[in-house]
Amino acid sequence: MSQSPPIYLDHQATTPVDPRVLEAMLPYYKGDFGNASSATHAFGWRAEAAVEDARERIAQCLAVDPNEIVFTSGATESNNLAIHGALNATPGKAGSVVATAIEHPSVLEAATAQRAFGHRDVQVPVAASGLVDPSEIAAAIEDDTTLVSVSAANSEIGVLPDIAAIAVDCHERGVLFHTDAAQAIGKIPLSLADTEIDLLSFSAHKIYGPKGIGALYVRRRRPRIKLRPLVFGGGQEGGLRSGTLAVPLIVGFARALELCVEEQEGEAARLRGLREKLRLEIERSVPEAVVNGDLEHRLPGNLSVSIPDVDGERLLLDLRGLAVSSGSACSSGSGEPSHVLLALGRDKELARATVRFGLGRGTAEAEIAAAAGALAAAVRKQNSR
């Protein structure tokens, strides 16, 4: 007898490609397979037209100019391009980057790597809720500060800091503001026309699009942002990101973002309702469980809970019927407790005994009760040993 697949509740790690997105991509794997840089024949012209149409559609979703969208391989590359590019835009000038202690590893490690180029990195602590006080960011800005980076939504605990206020403070001090919005784009309202964000990273595979494609929004006016590229040779993307453009992925990216924006309000309300049902079920059946992160300022489909006095590794093994994680997929194989949870004040054992539930477009109400029941059974199993 074949075993049923686990219930997928790890949508913060990645999402399945929406069939409507796949349908949009397929022609560019078949007849329209041209290289967008081939300027001498119809195959290249059609590929270039598809890329520019996708760029325009993505820009429209974010209320920005199309020439402010730079395609990359994903949000990790976008974060690196933003941080390395901004700090090294002026050769020989030392600077610093300020970030919170709970940023994604691709932000924190990119910031630390800048030490090799003569720059500094500064980490700002967060409150027990996971939120950062904008005044704490402002206080960390010094004369050499070039860039501040604060995520629009945390990848592990889903909290939503006040990035609009932080961006205003940065501009008042003449400092650039970058946000990693990989978890936020398409899930919460975010119009760049209404903010002072200079650089914004996002990725397709978090919004039911393909893996391997992302983008960096780079403000081109008031002020015009200068970046030093990470990748050279070819001159694509205005010289900021050389390399053959992945036309099918770019087309899928645009379609995925459009669908998320179109369906955002209704889907956010649905997921918020499912998340609250899951939280209440867990509170009832596992009353010792501790919710990580602020519940009011939070992604609709995210719930992170820690269970005191249980073995975290064994807990996840006992949850084989659920596809869940303990934290960010990018650091889940390290064996170390989450730096995010440690920054919230959790001790190492409690941080390890954490389950992140990421609800998404395919999550059904019946799966919520099953997930809460599976967690309760796994905890009971350990307590009975």
**pLDDT tens-digit map of 179-218:** 999 999 999 999 898 889 999 999 999 999 999 999 999 9
Q: What is the mean pLDDT of residues 23-49?
A: 96
Among 158, 106, 203, residue whose Cα is nearest residue 341: 158
pLDDT recorded at residue 329: 53
**pLDDT tens-digit map of 265-324:** 999 999 999 999 999 999 999 999 999 999 999 999 999 999 999 999 999 999 999 999
Residues in CB range of 196: below 8 A, 6 or more apart: 164, 167, 168, 170, 171, 177
Distance CA 110, CA 147 (A): 12
330 in catalytic set = yes
Q: What is the pTM of this model?
A: 0.95
Q: How confident is the model at residue 1 (pLDDT cuts 50, 70, 90)?
A: very low
CA distances for 87 relative to 67, 90, 167, 194, angstroms = 22, 7, 17, 25
Among 312, 305, 298, residue whose Cα is nearest residue 283: 305
- Could you give the 3-state DSSP secondary structure of residue 27? helix
Q: Output the six-digit token pair for 313.
A: 């590794």
State whether the Cα torsion 194-196-198-200 is positive or negative. negative
By CB atoms closer than 10 A (0-12, 13-18, 19+), residue 181 is buried
Hey, how many other C-beta atoms are within 10 angstroms of the C-beta on 297? 15
Q: What does the DSSP 8-state code read for residue 222?
A: S
pLDDT recorded at residue 87: 97
Is residue 64 predicted with pLDDT exceeding 70?
Answer: yes
Among 299, 335, 322, residue whose Cα is nearest residue 369: 322
Distance CA 208, CA 18 (A): 5
Widest CA span in the chain? 72
Is residue 2 predicted with pLDDT exceeding 80?
Answer: no
Q: What is the DSSP track for 32-100?
A: ----TT--SSHHHHHHHHHHHHHHHHHHHHHTS-GGGEEEESSHHHHHHHHHHHHHTSSTT---EEEEE
Is residue 239 predicted with pLDDT exceeding 60?
Answer: yes
- Per the CB < 8 A criterion, the answer to whether 309 and 163 are in contact is no
Q: What does the DSSP 8-state code read for residue 221?
A: S
Is residue 152 predicted with pLDDT exceeding 50?
Answer: yes
Q: What angle do CA 77, 78, 83 make, to 5 degrees?
A: 100
Q: What is the dihedral of CA 5, 11, 15, 21, to 10 degrees?
A: 120
pLDDT recorded at residue 58: 98
* β-strand pairing of 214-218 with 199-203: antiparallel
Domains of the chain: 7-15+264-383 (3.90.1150.10), 19-258 (3.40.640.10)
pLDDT recorded at residue 81: 98
pLDDT recorded at residue 380: 94
Q: What is the mean pLDDT of residues 116-145?
A: 97
Distance CA 296, CA 185 (A): 18
- Any alpha helices (H) in the chain, and if so which ranges? 19-25, 42-62, 75-87, 105-113, 134-140, 163-172, 247-285, 312-317, 339-343, 348-352, 365-383
**pLDDT tens-digit map of 135-144:** 999 999 999 9
Say which of 61, 170, 260, 330 is annotated catalytic: 330
Distance CA 321, CA 229 (A): 44
- Could you give the 3-state DSSP secondary structure of residue 176? strand
pLDDT recorded at residue 335: 67
Q: What is the DSSP track for 136-163?
A: HHHHH--TTEEEEE--SS-TTT-B---H
Sole residue written with tokens 């645009």: 254
Q: What is the dihedral of CA 95, 99, 101, 102, to 10 degrees?
A: -140
Q: What is the mean pLDDT of residues 2-15?
A: 90
Distance CA 314, CA 281 (A): 22
